[in-house]
Amino acid sequence: MSKKDLTELEVFELMQTYENHTFGEIDQHETPETIKSYHGYVVERSIFEYEPNSNPFPDLDWLDLEIKSTPMRETNRGLSSKERLVLNIINYLEENWLDFYESSFWKKNKKLLVVFYLYKNTLPKREQKILKSIIYKYPEKDLKIIMNDWLTIANKVLSGQAHEISERDTLYLAACTKGVNSDSVRKQPFSDVLAKQRAYSLKASYMTTVYNDYVYKNRKDESIVNDASIQVGKFSLEDYILKKFMPYFGASVTKLAELFGIDLISQTKSINSLIVNRILGLKHDIDHVEEFRKAFIIPKTIRIEPNGKVKESMSFPIFRFMEIIHEEWEDSEINDIMSNGRFMFIVFKYDLTFREYQLSNLKFWSMPNIDVLECREVWERTKAIIINGVEMTPTRKGINNNLPKKVDNSVMHVRPHGRDASDRLPLPDGRMMTKQSFWLNNDYILKIISE
């Protein structure tokens, strides 16, 4: 039977038969592993029997179905998408920037057959396995966010700023660079400046959530938007979140706690987060908000003290000494957070007149590349120190170490982060050390939220 006769359901059922199969088992053409898009080649040629191409219409055009393969990898937090899902290249000159439904993105990618496979850097490509294949249609509320993302990209091009496009401009759909090197540039319609070649892509955070939605249907993710929350071109996800906070700006922590029925006693370390949860109307943890996970939005509360300063640096998840020594910066969790995360800072500021903390500001922010480089420097130094053997010196205040300190870098440092000092992990040389994590410097945070 020709593959051209298959219905959508039959395509889905066909792909299920390949789950847990390696690409080597599927391949009927001895596809060389040196091909960059090896996995896609194998699926398209050996399962669907056509030559990979760059047509403007979907691969299985009679079904409006575009085929995509994407790697998942194992992390400390379960499976997560290894990279963004790259779609078609953007032709700035020929794209219809006035109508989303006429765009090359929508025409080619309105419906996707996504083949998730398990990536392991220890395995050759032919031994990597297909995990799941799904036929993916964007849920209505996702589509609105995607359309807003597309408009953001379109507006950059229409104002002659295609060279200023950044992946961080958008939430789910992004324009990622695509080309052999930074010399891959293209003309844009409303400026003489050449712009980097880019492709539409779905963010890795988005793909991770799509995968987990599919595999773990009873997940704890909680959505904060519905189909009507966002208006394309008028009201973004960030506008929507801001609107939820608006009524409470200027209110004191005491008052907000009272309003939401939160007991103030013995909750000093969590009171501000609890208030934020209630403002967003959450039942569960703020880390399990669907839209935050898809867009990689990282909520953080910040306190400004009576002296106008941020006293505390900002912590991130611990790293494992035995893992960081084998990692590269590009694959590290902290790089992912700083390069791809979008921070949502909720600021509580001490008011000198009323002598209390008040909810004062909400700010979305992404770290500039130049500061990510600083983080990298700290990370590389941390890795080197751990490989060379950490120096630990007992003092009256605890055990001092020689990992990167706040005074060493303007952006990030390393600090203990555990239940207490006895909460430890092994070092490469067998000694144990209190768990550590990366922290953004308090003065750096103050600078960001003051801008």
As given in the structure block, the two tokens for residue 200 are 């539409």
Q: Are strands 78-81 and 66-75 parallel, antiparallel or unpaired?
A: antiparallel
Among 7, 20, 155, 400, binds DNA (CB under 7 A): 400
108 is a site residue for DNA (CB under 7 A): no
Residue 400's CB: how many other CB atoms inside 10 A?
12
333-340 and 204-215 are packed helices; what angle lies between their axes, rounded to 10 degrees?
110
Q: Is 264 in contact with 254 (CB distance < 8 Å)?
A: yes
Helical (H) or strand (E) element with 212: helix 204-215
284 is a site residue for DNA (CB under 7 A): yes
Q: Interacting stretch for DNA, rule CB under 7 A, among 9-17, 20-28, 268-276, 369-377? A: 268-276
389 is a site residue for DNA (CB under 7 A): no
223 is a site residue for DNA (CB under 7 A): no
250 is a site residue for DNA (CB under 7 A): no
73 is a site residue for DNA (CB under 7 A): no
Among 192, 422, 430, 451, binds DNA (CB under 7 A): 422
84 is a site residue for DNA (CB under 7 A): no
| Cα distance between residue 303 and residue 348, in whole Å | 5
Among 370, 407, 430, 451, binds DNA (CB under 7 A): 407
Closer to DNA at the Cβ: 27 or 374? 374
Among 56, 250, 317, 389, binds DNA (CB under 7 A): 317
Among 46, 191, 273, 361, binds DNA (CB under 7 A): 273
217 is a site residue for DNA (CB under 7 A): no
Among 2, 53, 181, 395, binds DNA (CB under 7 A): 395
Tokens 């969590």 correspond to 270
Tokens 């987990």 correspond to 212
371 is a site residue for DNA (CB under 7 A): no
* Count, residues in the chain: 451
As given in the structure block, the two tokens for residue 58 are 């979907």
69 is a site residue for DNA (CB under 7 A): no
What is the Cα 387 distance to its own chain's centre?
29
Q: How far is the CB of 272 from DNA (least distance, A)?
A: 5
Q: Is 258 in contact with 316 (CB distance < 8 Å)?
A: no
Q: 63 vs 44, 54, 234, CA distance in Å?
A: 15, 17, 32
| Residues binding DNA (CB under 7 A) | 76-77, 220, 266-274, 284-285, 287-288, 298-303, 307, 309, 311-318, 348, 395-401, 403, 405-407, 413, 415-423, 434-435, 442-443
